Amino acid sequence: MSNQKPQSENQRDIEEGVRTDFRNTMSYGSYLDLDRVLSAQHPVSVPEHHDEMLFIIQHQTSELWLKLMLHELVEARRLLGEDDIGKALKCLARVKHIQKTLTEQWSVLATLTPREYAQFRGFLGSSSGFQSFQYRAVEFILGNKHEGMLKVHEADPKAHELLAKLLHEPGLYDVFLAALARRGYEIPEEILSRDVTKPWTFQEALVPVFKEIYESEDTQWSLYQACEDLVDVEDNFQAWRYRHLRVVQRTIGFKRGTGGSSGVDFLKRALDLTFFPELFAVRTEIGN
């Protein structure tokens, strides 16, 4: 206490034990490979537009969070495959927080005015978020499979390989339904052996299964919780899509997208997609 600077100096002493020499030991920057991360921002506008840095960092941070989200979803799927519902729920809880962060982050980009964006948009060429392989990977594992999307990634073998793998593997929901079948719930065989490369479509036969789970929340708490987590994940995903749509609308209005789509109208149609339709349908059936 006594040999510390007085409060009036308003500066904290560096304690004696604090390490300062990193010539031969691991440091913060070397562990995180910050040299590479922080030298990966390359504005393409000429002369360089001040706001392009915001645009780049918004996308790069989104891609980092998408990377973690996929990592957690793959693990949640593995754990469900091993009937470890409790640990899978832990992963899904993290996924939900990542989604919230991704959605809140739109407010930073919303500070970009239409004119600022128009001043460097031309330099982006035909690049577009539509080409984000990690976003597509997350959509695939959540069940929105689309073989045609692979074509976009033909020039990037690693991305193509990842997406092809996820396309052919069962999604999170497929694996969850198989876990329910192992616990004795009546999941029709056609559903369990479906062609997983196709997008999930509404299956009426699952509604009574979920009704049973929702009506036995006292004894089937973890299954009930898993269902509710999936509903949260879908809700959060839609919230991200909606914020994207609104930010796009306020920055480019109804211009066509750099990726070649109609723009806002194309994005609007994604709001009609659903990952877990039976979990929403069951709500119509629930009484007291």
Ligand X SMILES: N[C@@H](CC(=O)c1ccccc1NC=O)C(=O)O
Residue closer to ligand HEM by CB (options 56, 231) is: 56
User: String of b and e for 81-106 (b: at least 16 CB within 10 Å)?
Assistant: beeebeebbebbebbbebbeebbebb
For residue 249, give the 3-state DSSP assignment. Answer: helix
What is the C-alpha to C-alpha distance for residues 225 and 220, in angstroms, rounded to an integer? 9
| Contact status: 137 vs ligand HEM (CB under 6 A) | no
Question: Which option in ligand X, ligand HEM, none does residue 109 bind, with CB closer than 5 to 8 A by kind?
Answer: ligand HEM
Alpha helix (H) residue ranges in the chain:
28-31, 34-37, 52-81, 85-104, 106-109, 114-121, 133-141, 157-168, 172-182, 189-192, 207-215, 221-252, 264-270, 277-285
Residue closer to ligand X by CB (options 134, 258) is: 258
Interface with ligand X (CB under 6 A), residue total 10
Question: Which option in ligand HEM, ligand X, none does residue 159 bind, with CB closer than 5 to 8 A by kind?
Answer: none
Which two tokens mark 129? 């978020």
**Is 25 annotated to bind ligand?**
no
Residue closer to ligand HEM by CB (options 150, 281) is: 150
Residue closer to ligand X by CB (options 257, 277) is: 257
What is the C-alpha to C-alpha distance for residues 182 and 175, in angstroms, rounded to an integer? 11
What is the C-alpha to C-alpha distance for residues 279 and 213, in angstroms, rounded to an integer? 11
Closest listed residue to residue 134, CA positions, set 77, 79, 62: 62
**Is 244 annotated to bind ligand?**
yes
Question: Which option in ligand HEM, ligand X, none does residue 58 bind, with CB closer than 5 to 8 A by kind?
Answer: ligand HEM
Q: Which stretch binds ligand HEM (CB under 6 A): 78-86, 210-218, 226-234, 251-259?
A: 251-259
**Among residues 143, 171, 257, 277, the one that binds ligand X under rule CB under 6 A:** 257
Which two tokens mark 26? 């691991």
Question: Which option in ligand HEM, ligand X, none does residue 127 bind, with CB closer than 5 to 8 A by kind?
Answer: ligand X
Q: Which stretch binds ligand HEM (CB under 6 A): 8-16, 84-92, 184-192, 259-267?
A: 259-267
Q: What are the two backbone dihedrals, phi and then psi, of residue 161, each rounded to the nearest 5 degrees?
A: -65, -45
What is the C-alpha to C-alpha distance for residues 179 and 160, in angstroms, rounded to an integer? 29
Q: Which stretch binds ligand HEM (CB under 6 A): 4-12, 58-66, 203-211, 212-220?
A: 58-66
CA torsion sign for 267, 269, 275, 280 is positive
> Which residues of this protein are in contact with ligand X, per CB under 6 A?
59, 121, 124, 127-129, 252, 257-259
> Which residues of this protein are in contact with ligand HEM, per CB under 6 A?
58-59, 62, 109, 112, 117, 128-130, 132, 135, 244, 247-248, 251-252, 257-261, 263, 266-267, 270
